[in-house]
Structure formats: structure tokens, C-alpha cells
Amino acid sequence: MHRGWQLAFLLFAAAVFAVPALAQQPAAPASAAAAPKPKPKPAVKPAPKPAPKPAAEAAKPAATPATPAKPPAVAGAQPKLLGQYADWGAYTASPGGKKICFAISKPVSAVTDPPNRPRNPIYMFVSTRPADKVTNEVSINVGYPFKPGSEASAQIGSTGFALYTQQDGAWIKNAAEEVQMVNAMRGGDTVVVKGESAKGTKTTDTYNLRGVAQALDRTAQECK
């Protein structure tokens, strides 16, 4: 496996997710600064017809109503939602002209020790890249730089998997166990990921596995 591509994919997929990975949860309200302001109503005047606007004023764009968030294009590739299955979304995109498919989810619980330490967005991906002959590669964006040289872990039921780390990404250490991990995810309830940041903060992230099997089936169908 090529670690350079793995890091590039994590950056790509993390940038994609301005959209929620958990569709059944209500979206967070937009900040007041970002919310579009309603167009003010013109004052009622006795004149039957208002005077035409000056050219400079007419050039101003009219306010538009809010629209649903969409994934941004990354490297010229616009991700496409294939389907949302409980806690997991299935997507496809073609960065650099190479088609990829991936299932993605956010943790339902993210705990830090010491508590309440800030983190960037956290996601788990399972990606398929036909051009690179890669199928169901598990990767995690943990939201902080890992402690250099440290390992992370993923626990599914009674089965644990060691993860190697680089920057803010984690991947299964023993590639031969990847199929076993994906199969465990298909039949499991949760996966618990533990790691340690460069600043010594310990983290425990829990992902629900509802819908992961259906999302993986959909990505497999799309990226045969």
C-alpha cells in the first residue's frame, strides 16, 4: 500500500465532508454570520412607481435563500452521494481522473483525556480504488497529529486490531488482517478507536456500525 496516496485520500475525503455523514441527525444551525440576510422590503411610497435603481446599486447581487450543503469539489472532482445507510454514507468521486468509492461515518462518541481537548473533524473511511487494485482499505482521520511513532487500536467486539499512524491518519498495521477487520465491521455493533496525540492527549472514539454493510455493498457495486 502506498502511504502517500493514503494521506492524500484522507485529505480528499475529509475536505468532502461539509455534508453530514449521519443523515438521520439534524444539521447544526448555521452561524449568524454565515446565514443569508433576507432582502429588505422596500418602503411604501405614494408614487405609483419607484424610480429606477442607480447602476451601482443594481449591480449588487440579490440575496438568495439558503440551499442544502453540498460536498465541495476537490482536485476537480465532485463527490457524488450513492446512498445513506443509517450511520454510513456511500460516495464516489474521480480525483485526478481515477475513480474511487468510499463508505464514511463520524463517531457517535469522541472522548479525550484530559477532557474537552479541541480536535479537527473525525471520520472513518473504507475506500476502494480500482485503478490501484485496492479494495476496502480502512483509514481513520483522528482530528489531531498522532504522537510520532505511536500506534493506535481499533476494537470490534472481542477482536482488536493494531493501527499504524502518520500525521493525523491511521491504517491497519497488518495488511493481511484488513479483510478480517472489514468482515468484523459488517457483523459488529461498534468499533472503538483509541490513540494518543503528539501533546499526550488520549482519545477514545466510538463509531456505530449500523448501515456499514449496505454502504460497502453499494460502493462495491459502483467500483467493480
What is the model's pTM?
0.71
C-alpha cell at 41: 422590503
Domain interval for residue 203:
3-20+80-222
| pLDDT, position 39 | 35
Q: How many CB atoms lie within 10 A of CB 178?
A: 20
Residues 6+ apart with CB under 8 A from 124: 104, 105, 107, 138, 139, 140, 141, 191, 193, 207
Q: How many domains would you assign to the chain?
A: 1
In this structure, is residue 157 part of a structural domain?
A: yes
∠ CA 132-84-144 to the nearest 5 degrees?
Answer: 65
For the domain that residue 138 is a member of, what is the CATH number? Answer: 2.60.40.1880
How does pLDDT run across 86-102, given as a tens digit for each residue? 999 999 999 888 899 99
How does pLDDT run across 120-165, given as a tens digit for each residue? 999 999 999 999 999 999 999 999 999 999 999 999 999 999 999 9
| pLDDT, position 6 | 59
In this structure, is residue 65 part of a structural domain?
A: no
